[in-house]
Amino acid sequence: MFITRAGIRLAYEEAGAGMPVLLLHGFPFSRQMWRLQAPLARTVRLITCDLRGFGESEGTPSSMDEFAEDVHAVVTHLGLSAFVLGGFSMGGYVLFRYLARHADRVQALLLLDTRADADSPEGRQRRYDAIARIESEGPAGYLDDFVKLVLSPKTLQSRPDLIRDLRAQMAKVRPATLTGALRAMAERPDSTPLLSGIRLPTLIVVGEDDKATPPDNARRMHAAIAGSRFVLIPEAGHVSNLEQPEPFNAALVSFLHALP
C-alpha cells in the first residue's frame, strides 16, 4: 500500500488487528527486515513502512526530521490516535525525532538496537568517509564490510544463509539513498535530553554482541527512562530480530501484552 506526501510515494503494509504497533526499519534495510516479526500480527495490528528512498518508497533521505514527518503522514493516513512506536537502529533515531514532534499520539516505545546520543566526532567522520568511499568505488565494498559489522561472531560462523539474505537486501538500495542516509545520521541531533522526560512505557532490546549500538548505550537509556524494561538478547549482534527472532519476539509480546 502507498500514500503520497509532497509528491513522494511512501510504501507501508499492515496485518492483524488490535493495538497498532508501527515498526521503523534500520539502515540499509527496508520493511522486509521485519518479516520474522510477522507472528506479532496474531495479537496486534502490525504496521511497517519503508522510509523514503528505501524499499518501495521514493525519494532520497535528507534528515531524521524528514523521515519523522514521512512517518507522521502514514500515521495520519491510517488515523492512528494512539499507537506503539518501535524503531530499530536508524529507525530509533527517527523515533526520537517523531517523539520530539508528535509525542501526543504515542502510547508506548520500543527502542530496538538503537541509541539516543548523536555521533561522536570520530563516528561522524566514519560516516563521511563511507560516503566518500561509496561515491568513489560504488557501494559493494562498503556493504561487504557493513554486513560483518551487524552480525554476531556466532552468526558469521554458522549462518551463511542469513549473511546472503542481508547482503542481498542491502544490494537493492540505491547509492544515493545510502549516502543520503549516512549524511542524515551523521548530522542528526542528540536525543539524549529527551530521555528523562519520557513517561511512556518503554521496552529497550539489544543484542549482547551488538557492535553498532552496544549494550552499554542501551543500559544508559534504560537508566535514564523511568520504569523502562531492558532485555538483552543472547548470541545476537546488531540485527537481533533476525539473528534470534524467537527471544526477540517473546520480549515484544510480553511487553505489549502488559500494556493497558
**Cell 507522521 found at:** 72
**Cell 549482547 found at:** 208
Cα distances (Å, whole numbers) of residue 234 to 143, 153, 167, 171, 255? 25, 12, 23, 28, 18
Whether the Cβ atoms of residue 8 and residue 59 lie closer than 8 Å to each other: yes
Instruction: State whether the Cα torsion 212-216-220-223 is positive or negative.
Output: positive
Distance of CA 181 to the CA centre of its chain: 13
Checking if the pLDDT of 169 tops 90, the result is yes
Quote the percentage of the chain above a pLDDT of 70: 100
**9, containing H or E segment:** strand 8-15
How confident is the model at residue 131, as a pLDDT?
Answer: 98
Whether the Cβ atoms of residue 61 and residue 131 lie closer than 8 Å to each other: no
C-alpha–C-alpha distance, residues 209 and 124, integer Å = 22
Is the domain spanning 2-117+189-257 CATH 3.10.350.10? The answer is no
Q: Per-residue pLDDT tens for 111-136?
A: 999 999 999 999 999 999 999 999 99
C-alpha–C-alpha distance, residues 233 and 206, integer Å = 6
How confident is the model at residue 260, as a pLDDT?
Answer: 86
Checking if the pLDDT of 16 tops 90, the result is yes
pTM of the predicted model as reported, rounded to 2 decimal places: 0.98
Q: Per-residue pLDDT tens for 49-96?
A: 999 999 999 999 999 999 999 999 999 999 999 999 999 999 999 999
Q: Per-residue pLDDT tens for 195-220?
A: 999 999 999 999 999 999 999 999 99
Average pLDDT over the chain reads 98
CB burial string 184-214: b at 16+ within 10 A, e below: bbbebeebeebbeebebbbbbbbbebbebbb
Question: What average pLDDT does this structure show over 37-59?
Answer: 98
Domains of the chain by residue range: 2-117+189-257
Nearest to 205 by CA among 69, 107, 113, 93: 113
How confident is the model at residue 113, as a pLDDT?
Answer: 98
**172 three-state secondary structure:** coil
Nearest to 76 by CA among 39, 108, 101: 101
Question: What average pLDDT does this structure show over 240-249?
Answer: 98
Q: Per-residue pLDDT tens for 143-163?
A: 999 999 999 999 999 999 999
C-alpha–C-alpha distance, residues 173 and 184, integer Å = 16
Cα distances (Å, whole numbers) of residue 177 to 144, 173, 180? 17, 7, 5
How confident is the model at residue 229, as a pLDDT?
Answer: 98
- Residue type at position 239: V
